[in-house]
Structure 1
Amino acid sequence: MTLAFPNPTRSFDATRNAVRFLGHDGMVEVRFFIEASALGGAGPRGGADLTEDECLSAFDRLRSTIQAVALKAYAGRRLESYTLTTTQMR
């Protein structure tokens, strides 16, 4: 099977300072996180300066790019969860 993102739900995880979203490989749910720093931001700490609402809005704007990066991260490896970073988003 291939990874798909049929559920547009996403949430902010304050502990990880990341946005959580889900993919599905058949019946298997795959958890993804994207670090706030990978979502951008103009402050001196980059995305670390973004509020929860700004992170979620940035995720929504970048959704197709984020999902493409998630597909690459998922290819060939099966982990419990995946964390996307600034380096992967470049």
Structure 2
Amino acid sequence: MGTSGVTLNFPNPSRTYDASRHCVCFWGYDNSREITFLVDDAMLAKLNSDMGSGEFALLAAFDRNRDRILGLARDLYKGGPQIRYTIS
């Protein structure tokens, strides 16, 4: 089970593709703390077997699986000092 009192929300729907890290970045909030999440290309390919390549295709794959990805982020996040997590 997660840490008691941990509340992770995703009020900001924005996401960006980071070509240098080969991932889509998005942000969650635990109260006023911003937490960065990175979903690598390989994970997006696992979620979308027919995914194309390039920034547009990766962002579209993220959007199609947003609810599932946010669930994975909630499972991964446990609170504490860490502010960046990779979903892979």
The TM-score, its normalising length taken from structure 1, stands at: 0.81
- Counterpart of 2:34, as a letter, is E
Q: What stretches of structure 1 of length at least 5 have no aligned partner? A: 86-90
Q: List structure 1 segments (4+ residues) > 4 angstroms apart after TM superposition.
A: none
* Bigger RCO of structures 1 and 2 (CA < 8 A, at least 6 apart): 2
2:87 counterpart of 1:84: yes
Superposition RMSD in Å = 1.9
Q: Please state how far the C-alpha of 1:75 moved relative to its aligned partner.
A: 2.3
Q: Which has the higher helix share?
A: 1
The TM-score, its normalising length taken from structure 2, stands at: 0.82
Is residue 34–residue 83 contact of structure 2 (8 Å, CA) maintained in 1? no
Separation (CA, whole Å) in 2 of partners of 1:66 and 1:75: 16
Identity of aligned residues (%): 37
Of 16, 21, 40, which aligns to 1:16? Answer: 21
Q: What stretches of structure 2 of length at least 5 have no aligned partner? A: 1-5
